[in-house]
């Protein structure tokens, strides 16, 4: 019997970790503390200008905690920049703008009275080489508007809606902040309109205020403008503070609309907390590339 395998250390698989909110506890080196935990862990960041106590959104990548966003931060649009491969391919078909003679032509000696003047409109090899570095081939490229239109985020910082009847779904409206994609995909009325056909990932995050007795609470995403078109939901029976994220991903045609809903087992205005819970209610949409 071969027992050597018992002596060889085995690397345990790294479990999948869902994106989580955390607080920056140090910046050099960077450490963060996940919500609900007491210890800080090392992290790296793709978000600049972070300070201690900033609220950040993290993922786990190759066993490394990565900060991918800052609450209240801004997005960075890279769509205006060409890739290295696109520039390299494009330069092969371009030349600098100028006045050029036909490829096949002749001149008599009598025509050339001043050789330097005659050659002055023509580019040198070095000028052509330098000029090609600023060109790309004619083609169909994504514009800045197209890239920005494929993602969006909106935030609600006020309580509500009021649950007037137990067991009835109520639409979440009154989003007061749209950090990006203003007027294209997101609307403060709480309606998301898909701008171009594609596969989209939608996240609806909602913190619920505490209540005196346990009761059923539910949040949902509807692929349409009525509660009858709900496609994803989560629910819980609880009396304390509750926060949850429900997600939905599917192929959507341009013009498809999404709305966001809550349902309560009791009536009253104690639905979504505003300043009492951080982070606030939010909807995030992005096209899956």
Q: How far apart are CA 106 and CA 187, in angstroms?
A: 66
Would strands 64-70 and 44-45 be described as parallel, antiparallel, or unpaired?
parallel
Q: Which residues pair with 215 in a beta bridge?
A: 238
Instruction: Show the domains of the chain with their CATH numbers.
Output: 14-70 (2.40.50), 148-287 (2.60.120.40)
Are the CB atoms for 280 and 174 separated by under 8 Å? Answer: no
Q: Are 246 and 217 in contact (CB under 8 A)?
A: no
Residues 154-176: tens digit of each pLDDT: 888 887 787 778 888 999 988 87
Q: What is the dihedral of CA 195, 196, 201, 205, to 10 degrees?
A: 0
Higher pLDDT among residues 207 and 226, named by residue? 226
CA atoms within 13 A on the CB side of 67: 29
pTM: 0.48
What are the tens digits of pLDDT across the range 94-143? 777 777 766 777 766 556 666 566 666 777 788 778 877 777 777 665 55
Contact 69, 57 (CB under 8 A): yes
| CA-angle at 177, arms to 230 and 73, nearest 5° | 110
pLDDT value at 275 more than 80: no
| Beta carbons within 8 Å of 22's beta carbon, 6+ residues apart | 32, 33, 34, 35, 43, 55, 56, 57, 58, 65, 67
Run of H or E including 144: helix 144-149
pLDDT at 76: 46
pLDDT digits (tens, 9 = 90+) for 220-231: 999 999 999 999
Q: β-strand 230-238 against 215-222: which pairing, if any?
A: antiparallel
Which residue(s) pair with 236 in the sheet?
A: 217
Cα–Cα distance measured from residue 233 to residue 216, given in angstroms and rounded to the nearest whole number: 13
State the alpha helices, DSSP H only, in 48-143: 84-91, 115-119, 125-132
């Amino acid at each position: 019997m071969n027992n050597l395998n018992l002596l060889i250390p085995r690397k345990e698989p790294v479990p999948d970790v869902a994106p989580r909110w955390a607080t920056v506890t140090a910046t050099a080196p960077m450490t963060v503390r996940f919500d609900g935990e007491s210890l800080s862990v090392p992290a790296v960041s793709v978000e600049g200008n972070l300070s201690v106590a900033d609220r950040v959104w993290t993922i786990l990548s190759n066993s490394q905690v990565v900060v991918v966003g800052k609450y209240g931060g801004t997005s960075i649009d890279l769509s205006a920049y060409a890739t290295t491969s696109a520039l390299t391919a494009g330069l092969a078909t371009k030349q600098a703008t100028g006045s050029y003679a036909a490829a096949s032509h002749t001149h008599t000696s009598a025509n050339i009275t001043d050789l330097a003047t005659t050659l002055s409109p023509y580019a040198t090899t070095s000028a052509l080489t330098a000029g090609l570095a600023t060109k790309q081939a004619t083609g169909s490229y994504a514009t800045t508007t197209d890239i920005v239109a494929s993602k969006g985020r909106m935030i609600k910082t006020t309580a509500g809606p009021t649950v007037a009847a137990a067991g009835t779904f109520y639409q979440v409206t009154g989003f007061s902040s749209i950090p990006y994609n203003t007027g294209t995909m997101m609307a403060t009325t709480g309606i998301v309109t898909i701008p171009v056909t594609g596969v989209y990932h939608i996240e609806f995050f909602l913190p619920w205020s505490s209540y005196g007795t346990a009761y059923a609470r539910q949040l949902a995403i509807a692929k349409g403008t009525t509660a009858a078109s709900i496609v994803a939901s989560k629910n819980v029976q609880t009396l304390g503070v509750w926060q949850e994220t429900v997600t939905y991903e599917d192929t959507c045609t341009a013009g498809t609309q999404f709305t966001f809903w809550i349902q309560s087992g009791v009536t009253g205005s104690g639905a979504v907390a505003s300043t009492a819970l951080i982070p606030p209610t939010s909807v995030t949409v992005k096209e899956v590339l």
